[in-house]
Amino acid sequence: MIEKLVSRIKKLNAPIVVGLDPTLNFVPKFLLEKAINEKGETLEAAADAIFEFNKKIVDAVYDLIPAVKPQIAMYEQFGIPGLMAYKKTLDYCHEKDLLVIGDAKRGDIGSTSTAYAIGHLGKVKIGSTEIAPIDADFLTINPYMGSDSVVPFVEECKKHDKGLFILVKTSNPSSGEFQDQKVGEKAVYELVGKKVDEWGLDTVKEGYSDVGAVVGATYPEMGKVLREIMPKAYILVPGYGAQGGTAAELKPFFNKDGLGAIVNSSRGIIAAYKQEKYAEFGAEGFAEAAREAVIDMKNDIASIF
């Protein structure tokens, strides 16, 4: 799967992933009101509004970007209708030829990880029929429980040509409470990075592994260290824009050829119309504002090379 992502990044010259992390606060009032008029003040109405919001944004940006990253929690908060909107969003993005990084941060004991891996990346067999329940292309996972929790995901990726992004050094302010602690001479995030490199060694295609890493843009010096520890791992970089990461801080995550990393922006794009910079588009033009924000992000990242 990683070769598909790299190919699309090269083609579009856009190491960018748009985080489809909607909240009702981001959804313009007219979309929510339309859904409520049809289905009342229900979870179904919220889910419909969110899917319509996603659909319009995808329609506006799909030709500019290689991938999207829906955060499943933003859908789970609306129960089963929200999860249905999540699945509809993935399917629609695939129709638009976008790769989908499912941001679910799963990870548990072996048998449970296997079930998670099948549900999000693989296929379940019902009688003689195999069905892909969710069918993401990549999945974010949490390695805190060790190899027992990670290997089932790696094995499922090998079966179905899928990929992973494993949490290594996250962008949130309190990540250092655990991730920066020393074990001997090495920080925990360095030890996790070394394991990511090992887990992906036999999945390398065209220079990169199907087993990638999540490293926050807010920690560029650590990103530089991890780039060396994980030479074959593609790095998913959250924290750009709204969380404080800047383009200048992104360079350590990339290799000299401009590959090796893909940068996420969520509310900075999907809620761009709420920013003063894009206020001229108004709520009715939220999708056009998102497109403009993607173009600006693309140019901003290009400026560092």
Candidate list 105, 123, 251, 274, residue with the active-site label? 105
Active site annotation includes 158? no
Residues 6+ apart with CB under 8 A from 171: 216, 217, 218, 219, 238, 239, 243, 245
The dihedral region occupied by 159, where left means phi > 0, alpha psi between -120 and 50, and beta the remainder, is alpha
Q: How many residues does the chain have?
A: 305
**Enzyme catalytic residues:** 105
